[in-house]
């Protein structure tokens, strides 16, 4: 080994988690090195060429609000943008963008190359170990040794990667890249508890081999709503997606070849994602469904590759060709890249704290699929948190801990470290009990002040944020004080929208509280509205007025949750010695080592009765400590 130098932070992996981790650490003043097995894989999207989606769009907005890059980069290379779930309440409205995957990768790579304090290295890391005086040693396959103060593991699906297509299996990373073949051994030697997960991806097919004439078009929104609060002119949609369906013939071909599936033949050991199954898994598990939807989506502007969303598979290549060609529009399709399943090593995330630092290995952090999650957005969110906390620890600053009542990022991390994962974790709006407060439209209001305090928000952006908040306060005040007299014009609007006309004066706020009424409906009669107020501010005010009662109740629930979170548990608490705790609770509490009563109550297997025992124990412990202080002799 030769001495390759000393750094503050080493990030292993340059995918979505690694990029956010490295950029945040470097921007916070840490000399950072980021490793990638292949320089062309920086910011790669090996699966779906899209960012966002249900709940995932919330994560991207929160990453942006804290000063991350995913939202801005998506806005710079999107092909089509849509706000999902508009037929439902605002809590589940989620932005999704189809992207040019090569442009996304190139933009992210350039940002990393140009970032001060950050060096990008093409190298396979084969081992990490603890050195003297709290430093970490990072060794590469080319016998270079880097000495660092903190390591962030963001290995994605490269760690011990193995690809399956039918009865063919070989060691590989995603997209035909080399896997990280040796690092697992050093992690096991270190003492980390690992497990084996798997995921899959559909085939990429040639655009000119598809017959689009009979397919349903799926167009983007107009106007386009950007992900980043910094993006003012995102530009137009530049692509159309298409919808098709499987049929009985598709299902017959798949069922007839299940014996050739590595998933059903027992070749695959890893646990796959519950909420994103392969097409063969869908056909078996949902045998009562006559068809399954698929989306035909472009991979970029300068490529003829199309992605078949919803059709991941590990069946043999010849079977893939058969069942794809049984689908309307794909009768003569040509496969450019075959679908495959990939197994990889990841860690049990209950070994980590809310900072994403490993409890028993100070200075070691995990992020992304290495932590047992799935998805680009979940990875980027964890990478940002890990990078921030590694930098703050190096600078002897207090950690940044996001709780589940303040962000989806906090919910994601709390779920991982408290509940653990039995299959790749995917963020969904249903995972948050506070989703009406944690909307995608108010992510900046919730998190930009923290991003500013941390140091990842520029002065210009902070000034813009403060101006937006002033607009909101002024508009809320105007809505509560403005009174409309009954008029023919107003009542025509109300009747046309299916709501009751007025006979007396009515406040603007009361009109907006009606489910049928939106700001834009009142344009003709609302003459005092400022012309320059942004639509995003009006949306935010309208939602808060419409759902005022529900939001108030949810905030009361949040305060109760935070009251429990303020009751901290000692790090060295010996749960085996606490009388009254059930055996399962002792085991789970000892393994997870929760930081407070709130987190303890969310551990699977810890009952309300166990929490009562803990509260009584804490009360008695504090009483004893207080008594001991009184008994101390004075000098």
Could you report the per-residue pLDDT of 82-116, keeping only the tens digit for each? 999 999 999 999 999 999 999 999 999 999 999 99
Place 554 in a pLDDT band, splitting at 50, 70 and 90.
Answer: very high
Domain regions of the chain by residue span: 2-200+344-453, 204-341, 458-553, 567-631
| pTM for the predicted model, two decimal places | 0.94
- Please give the CATH architecture assigned to the domain spanning 567-631: Orthogonal Bundle (1.10)
Residue 601's Cα: distance from chain center in Å? 24
Taking a C-beta distance cutoff of 8 angstroms, is the pair 80, 237 a contact? yes
Cis before 223? omega within 30? yes
Q: Phi, psi at residue 7, to the nearest 5°?
A: -135, 165
What are the tens digits of pLDDT across the range 344-365? 999 999 999 999 999 999 999 9
Place 632 in a pLDDT band, splitting at 50, 70 and 90.
Answer: low
According to CATH, the topology of domain 458-553 is Arc Repressor Mutant, subunit A (1.10.10)
Q: What is the pLDDT of residue 342?
A: 96
Taking a C-beta distance cutoff of 8 angstroms, is the pair 49, 110 a contact? no
Q: What is the pLDDT of residue 635?
A: 52
SS (H, E, C) 586-631: HHHHHHHCCCEHHHHHCCCCCCHHHHHHHHHHHHHHHHHHHHHHHH
Q: What is the pLDDT of residue 629?
A: 66
Residue percentage of the chain with pLDDT more than 70? 98
How far from each other are the two terminal CA atoms of the chain, in whole angstroms? 57
What are the tens digits of pLDDT across the range 317-331? 999 999 999 999 999
Q: State the CATH class of domain 204-341.
A: mainly beta
Q: Which residues of 414-450 are buried (b: 16+ CB within 10 A; e: fewer)?
A: bbbbbbbbebbbbbbbebbebbbbbbbbbbbebbbbb
What are the tens digits of pLDDT across the range 281-318? 999 999 999 999 999 999 999 999 999 999 999 999 99
CATH hierarchy code of domain 2-200+344-453: 3.50.50.60
Q: How far apart are CA 67 and CA 80, in angstroms?
A: 24
Average pLDDT over residues 606-625: 86
Q: Any idea which of 87-101, 256-270, 421-435, 533-547 has the lowest mean pLDDT? A: 256-270
User: For the chain, what is the mean pLDDT?
Assistant: 95
Q: What is the pLDDT of residue 634?
A: 58
pLDDT at 633 over 80: no
Task: Judge residue 199's burial from the number of C-beta atoms within 10 Å of its C-beta, 0-12 exposed, 13-18 middle, 19 or more buried.
Answer: buried
Q: Which residues contact 117 (CB under 8 A, 6 or more apart)?
A: 25, 26, 27, 29, 30, 31, 32
């Amino acid at each position: 080994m030769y001495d390759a130098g000393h750094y503050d932070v080493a990030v292993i992996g340059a995918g979505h988690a690694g990029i956010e981790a490295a950029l945040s650490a470097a921007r916070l003043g840490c000399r950072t090195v980021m490793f990638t097995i292949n320089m062309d894989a920086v910011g790669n999207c090996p699966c779906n060429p899209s960012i966002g989606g249900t709940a995932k769009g919330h994560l991207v907005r929160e990453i942006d609000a804290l000063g991350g890059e995913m939202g801005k980069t998506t806005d710079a290379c999107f092909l089509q943008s849509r706000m999902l779930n508009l037929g439902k309440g605002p809590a589940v409205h989620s932005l999704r963008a189809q992207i040019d995957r090569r442009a996304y990768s190139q933009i992210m790579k350039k940002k990393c190359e140009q970032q001060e304090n950050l060096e990008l290295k093409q190298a396979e890391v084969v081992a990490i170990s603890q050195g003297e005086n709290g430093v970490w040693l990072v060794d590469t396959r080319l016998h270079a040794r880097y000495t660092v103060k903190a390591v962030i593991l963001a290995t994605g699906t490269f760690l011990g990667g193995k690809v399956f297509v039918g009865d063919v299996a070989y060691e590989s990373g995603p997209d035909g890249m080399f896997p990280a073949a040796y690092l697992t051994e050093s992690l096991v030697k270190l003492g980390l508890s690992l497990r084996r997960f798997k995921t899959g991806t559909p085939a990429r097919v040639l655009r000119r081999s598809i017959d689009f004439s009979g397919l349903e078009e799926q167009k983007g929104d107009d106007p386009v709503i950007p992900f980043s609060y910094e993006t003012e002119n995102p530009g137009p949609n530049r692509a159309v997606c298409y919808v098709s369906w499987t049929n009985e013939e598709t299902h017959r071909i798949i069922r007839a070849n299940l014996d050739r599936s590595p998933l059903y033949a027992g070749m695959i050991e890893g646990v796959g994602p519950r909420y994103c199954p392969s097409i063969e898994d869908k056909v078996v598990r949902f045998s009562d469904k006559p068809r399954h939807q698929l989306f035909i989506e472009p991979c970029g502007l300068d490529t003829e590759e199309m992605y078949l969303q919803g059709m991941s598979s590990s069946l043999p290549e010849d079977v893939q060709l058969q069942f794809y060609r049984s689908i309307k529009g794909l009768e003569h399709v040509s496969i450019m890249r075959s679908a495959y399943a990939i197994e990889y090593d990841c860690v049990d995330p209950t070994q980590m704290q809310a900072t994403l630092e490993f409890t028993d290995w100070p200075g070691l952090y995990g992020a992304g699929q290495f932590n047992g999650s799935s998805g680009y957005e979940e990875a980027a969110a964890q990478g940002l948190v890990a990078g921030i906390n590694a930098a703050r620890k190096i600078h002897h600053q207090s950690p940044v801990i996001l709780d589940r009542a303040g962000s989806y990022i906090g919910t994601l991390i709390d779920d991982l470290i408290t509940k653990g994962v039995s299959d790749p974790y995917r963020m969904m709006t249903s995972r948050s009990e506070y989703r009406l407060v944690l909307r995608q439209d108010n992510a900046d209001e919730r998190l930009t002040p923290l991003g500013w305090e941390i140091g990842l928000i520029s002065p210009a952006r902070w000034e813009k944020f403060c101006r937006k908040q002033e607009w909101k306060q002024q508009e809320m005040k105007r809505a509560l004080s403005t009174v409309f007299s009954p008029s023919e014009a107003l009542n025509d609007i109300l009747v046309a929208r299916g709501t009751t006309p007025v006979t007396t004066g009515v406040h603007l706020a009361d009109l907006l509280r009606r489910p049928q009424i939106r700001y834009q409906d009142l344009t003709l009669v609302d003459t005092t509205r400022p012309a320059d107020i942004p639509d995003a501010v009006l949306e935010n005010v309208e939602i808060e007025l419409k759902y005022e009662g529900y939001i108030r109740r949810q905030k009361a629930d949040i305060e109760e949750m935070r009251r429990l979170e303020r009751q901290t548990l000692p790090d060295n608490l010996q749960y085996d010695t606490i009388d009254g705790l059930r055996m399962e609770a002792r085991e789970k509490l000892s393994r997870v080592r929760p930081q407070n009563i709130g987190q303890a109550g969310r551990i699977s297997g810890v009952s309300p009765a166990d929490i009562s025992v803990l509260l009584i124990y804490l009360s008695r412990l504090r009483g004893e400590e207080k008594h001991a202080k009184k008994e101390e002799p004075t000098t």
